[in-house]
Chains A and B, each alone.
Chain A
Amino acid sequence: MIQLQNIEKVYRTSTVETLALNSINLDIAKGEFLSIMGPSGCGKSTLLNIIGLLDAPSKGHIKIDDQKTEHLSDKQLAAFRNKKLGFIFQSYHLINDLQVLDNVELPLLYRASSAKERKMLASEALEKVGLANRVKHFPNQLSGGQKQRVAIARAIVGRPEIILADEPTGNLDSAMGSEILDILLQLNQRDGTTIVMVTHDENMAHKTHRLVRLFDGSQVQ
């Protein structure tokens, strides 16, 4: 499903060159639930962003669903992300000006779908995360756990094959954290969604199929 070959990422400023990722090779199978762990600053999020085509590697190739991605234009990349990928962020990144339902509908706006269809799909997604009764709320009226569930609903509403989660439980207490993980596990098991999750939590990582550890930009496990 996802193939990374010799991925390298270098951040350059006028004086310093930082190697954030160093020859990462990774194959992620369809339907796999993979965790990425490592100390802060080891390049976990950078790797996830590169997998999600939000950032380009300095060297190496990424193939998603057998499609090479390095020569895609801004527009093609946008369409590709819209169709194939769903994102969950540590700090939720909901749009505060929009109601829950509109937040969840967001990915559908960038493809052809009618208002009715969008509403139906968004309601369905919210139901899956147990927030069907909060559609008219604004993000700042929700708790952290609820916000993250809205974010999950947004990530799955377009039925992507891959979900990329960057420390989805990082801002939550352990009870809420395990609730969120349960939802992700369920998505993986029931719908066969491929999930890549960055986490700090060993227990959570052990519940997933595979664990990749990074240290100073290199894969150590």
Chain B
Amino acid sequence: MVRRFSNLISLKIKVMLKNYFKIAIAVLRRRKFFTFISLFGISFTLTILLVLTAFIDKVVGDNYPDRKRDRSLYITRMSQEGKGNINNGALSFYFLEHFTKVLKTPVKIAISSRPNGTNTYINDKKIAVNYKYTNAAYWDILEYDFLEGKAFGTKEIDNAAKVAVISEDMKHEYFGDIPSVTGKYIEADNVRYRVIGVVKNVPVTSYLTYSDIYLPYTVSKSDYKNKDYGGSFTGILLAPSKADMQKMHDEYEQMVKRVPMGNKMYDHIYTHADTYLAAYLDTGNENQSGVVLVLTVISVFVFLFMLLPTLNLVNINITRIMERSSEIGVRKAFGASSKTLVYQFIVENIILTLLGGLIGLILSVIVIYFINSLNLIANLELSINFMVLFVGLLICLFFGLLSGVYPAWRMSKLNVVTALKAQ
């Protein structure tokens, strides 16, 4: 008897669910304009969100080649300030080499110049090239993937050897499709360098480590022994462990305080050893953290971006449900309870949202495919962040439910006679 009763209940639930689904599909198909607007709102918002986060994810989250990011502090900028004088920019090789040498915490210090642009010619074809000078420790701290050959070390640095590590793209562009280029010569800025290694590409957005050609700093034409503090170099300090990061940070701050003024024009020096994110987003303003600024901008942007279609959806949903008051009246007259009706509208909204999510996902895949294949941003391979998809869907679902359930609940509480008259 009990079993029969429970079978009956489960049959009823099954019938209900199937029927909600059927009604939902019928409603969505019959009200094409409404469906289009809703789906467009949901999927377009999700697409923008997914592409945007794929971008941020790649730019900030991808840790090739600095895989020891959690143990590294980045020195990217120095500001020298005096009365009416401000000098803001990268640091000199001398400053990074001379003053960080005394630090006890870092196990290694990578120093490299910002990429310099030049043109080179091969078979009368002009190729734009970025080259970058590094020290030997650079190759120890940063874990580039070598496709062939190896990096230069202390010996090559000391001898000012004209050797180069090049990127995979540079190899193809300069030498064409040949299996190995180690030992061949590449020309940049009228100097011939012997290729000793080829590394996997780094996207241009990782500007601290991106380059086409990497050269020993000792071959630099500019004077790396110049004792000015400002220059074109950046540094990475490697701590022995994650736990030593704070200590290393503090030690650098203390050291900077003791540094004598290099130039009479200035009376203050500001430079910090920051985490990757903070260094990446450095605004150049001592008083404002780039991280806070960027996070605020992104949050406001996402909030506004989600808010507009949400309000729209809420509005459409309310109008749509009010339009269906006669249907609600009829269903109640023929035996639907208020609860059943609320469930029906919930299922309709869930189906709509999931459909929107699916379309959003497909659109994102297409957009990301095009961004990747058109190579709009050098070496940048975007991919979808499924966590964001999930959270985005959840947000849509939440607002979908909010916008659908509230009016549905109100309508379901309506007196049948009033609901029927509303037609």
Contacts and interface: CB of A to CB of B under 8 A. Distances in A.
B332 A78 contact: yes
A150 to B, nearest CB: 12
B27 interface: yes
B31 interface: yes
Contact of A81 (B26, B329, B333): B333
A94 B30 CA distance: 15
Interface string B10-41: 01100110110011001100110000000000
Contacts of A55: 415-417
A110 B336 contact: yes
A192 to B, nearest CB: 21
A79 B334 CA distance: 9
A93 B330 contact: yes
Contacts of A109: 15-16, 19, 336
Contacts of A74: 337-339
B331 interface: yes
A208 interface: no
Given A97-B30, A98-B26, A107 B416 contact: no
B335 A111 contact: yes
Nearest to B12: A112
Contacts of A115: 15, 18
A87 B417 contact: no
A106 B340 CA distance: 13
A54 B416 contact: yes
Contact of A96 (B9, B30, B333): B30
**What does DSSP make chain B's interface, helix, strand, loop or mixed?**
helix
A113 B15 contact: yes
A90 to B, nearest CB: 10
A106 B334 CA distance: 7
A95 B19 CA distance: 14
Interface string A72-104: 001100110111000101010111111000100
Contact of A110 (B11, B326, B335, B417): B335
A78 B15 contact: no
B423 A81 contact: no
B327 interface: yes
A81 B338 CA distance: 13
A91 to B, nearest CB: 7
Interface in A30-71: 49, 52, 54-55
A111 B335 CA distance: 8
B137 interface: no
B420 interface: yes
**Interface centre among A78, A94, A114, by most B CB within 10 Å?**
A78
A157 to B, nearest CB: 9
Contacts of B417: 49, 54-55
A95 B330 contact: yes
13 contacts: A49-B417, A54-B415, A55-B415, A74-B337, A82-B335, A89-B420, A91-B423, A93-B326, A106-B330, A110-B337, A110-B340, A112-B9, A112-B15
Interface of B: 8-9, 11-12, 15-16, 18-19, 22-23, 26-27, 30-31, 326-327, 329-340, 415-417, 420, 423
Given A54-B333, A91-B423, A112-B9, 12 more contacts: A54-B332, A82-B334, A87-B334, A97-B26, A97-B31, A97-B327, A102-B26, A107-B335, A110-B336, A111-B12, A111-B335, A114-B11
Closest 10 CB pairs of A and B: A82-B335, A110-B335, A78-B337, A107-B334, A112-B12, A54-B416, A97-B30, A75-B337, A93-B330, A112-B8
